[in-house]
Amino acid sequence: MTPNQPELLSVTALNFSLSKEKHILKDVSFSVPQGSFTLLCGPNGSGKSVLLRCLKGLEQMQEGTIVLDGKDVSKDRKKRMQTIGLVFQDADTQMVGQTVEKDIRFGMENLGLDLEEQNLRLEQVLQLLDLASQRSQRPRTLSGGEKRRLAIAGVLVMDPKLLVLDEPFANLDYRSVVSVLSTLLKLQKEGHTIILVSHEVDKTLSHADQVLVLEAGRIVSSGSPREVLPTLSLHGIYLPEGAAVEDLTWLKR
Ligand SMILES: Nc1ncnc2c1ncn2[C@@H]1O[C@H](COP(=O)(O)OP(=O)(O)OP(=O)(O)O)[C@@H](O)[C@H]1O
Ligand SMILES: [Mg+2]
């Protein structure tokens, strides 16, 4: 963990409802230190994806404060859009270009990066996510796992301050899982701040600096992996009995 790091993100009393009766997020508060790795978990329908969409500004929360980098950006959707790179749970919704290469360039063009910088970053992410041989392929024709890797590449290439990934391991085979997880850990080492939403708690817990458990729209448990581990089964998250935090990884050490 990076305990003395300032907070990059701080969320206070966030409430989000779809209607008078349908409250999705209830009084959600947490903070994310600069350079940390946060694992957000919880049962299906607990509000994880909606929370990420609220952070990014794709959903309009009714109440709450979002502070990014020391600035209140609750009403500054543009700043949140720029600072937060979100890899969606559904990779299909994220693809815009005619080819893999154009798709990856799209975000960089919007950022106004010069061609030289674009080319450099493009080659890096194509290598990193093992997409070099698909660079001229149409995104719609990619396999499920390739689409997922493209969605990650498209966000990574923009080098967001806060990288948020919603179930990035879905559809990936073991090799790709290891490569994506290792990439995330490498990015963290380089100073990036990461929020990961994953049901694969048994394979990711050991890498988290902090864990947040969401259930029915509330944060019901939070803390270090060691603190949160004994509470998980109370919230419908079952792990191999007696497993120590260090065992809960995809990466063999
Ligand atoms: N536009 C919408 N209209 C109606 N209900 C919605 C809408 N968006 C989200 N919900 C509901 O909000 C709740 C939280 O959804 P969300 O997608 O955040 O769950 P999740 O924790 O990401 O689940 P999963 O693990 O299955 O991805 C669900 O009950 C979902 O049906
Ligand atoms: Mg979800």
| pLDDT at res. 175 | 87
The residue to mutate among 50, 60, 61, having the most atoms of ligand 1 within 8 angstroms of its beta carbon, is 50
Stretch (H or E) spanning 203: helix 201-204
pLDDT at residue 201 is higher than 70: yes
CA–centroid distance, 118 to ligand 2, in Å, is: 31
CA–centroid distance, 44 to ligand 2, in Å, is: 7
CA–centroid distance, 110 to ligand 1, in Å, is: 30
What is d(CA 74, CA 61) in angstroms, rounded to the nearest whole number?
A: 9
- Where residue 3 falls among pLDDT bands split at 50, 70, 90? low
CA–centroid distance, 48 to ligand 1, in Å, is: 8
Considering every ligand atom, which ligand is closest to the CA of 214? 1
What is the residue with the minimal CA distance to atom 13 of ligand 1? 45
What contacts 201, CB < 8 A, 6 or more positions away? 39, 41, 232, 237, 239, 248
Question: In ligand 1, which atom is closest to the CA atom of 50?
Answer: 18
pLDDT at residue 78 is higher than 80: yes
CA–centroid distance, 51 to ligand 2, in Å, is: 9
CA–centroid distance, 120 to ligand 2, in Å, is: 33
133: phi then psi, degrees, rounded to nearest 5: -80, -5
Kindly list the domain boundaries of the chain, sorted by start residue: 7-95+159-247
CA 105 from centre of chain: 21
Residues with CB in 5 Å of ion ligand 2: 48-49, 89
Pick from 11-15, 19-23, 24-28: least confident? 19-23
What is the residue with the minimal CA distance to atom 4 of ligand 1? 18
Segment 23-40 mean pLDDT: 98
CA–centroid distance, 55 to ligand 1, in Å, is: 15
Question: In ligand 1, which atom is closest to the CA atom of 89?
Answer: 27
pLDDT at residue 117 is higher than 60: yes
The predicted-structure confidence for 222-245, as pLDDT tens digits, reads as follows: 999 999 999 999 999 999 888 899
Q: Which of 3.40.50.150, 3.40.50.300, 2.60.40.1180, 3.90.1150.10 is the CATH number of 7-95+159-247? A: 3.40.50.300
The residue to mutate among 17, 24, 165, 200, having the most atoms of ligand 1 within 8 angstroms of its beta carbon, is 24
pLDDT at residue 119 is higher than 60: yes
Stated pTM of the model:
0.94
Pocket of ligand 1 (CB under 6 A): 18, 24, 42, 44-50, 89
What is d(CA 192, CA 188) in angstroms, rounded to the nearest whole number?
A: 5
What is d(CA 90, CA 81) in angstroms, rounded to the nearest whole number?
A: 18
| pLDDT at res. 91 | 77
10 Å CB burial of residue 11 (0-12, 13-18, 19+) is: buried
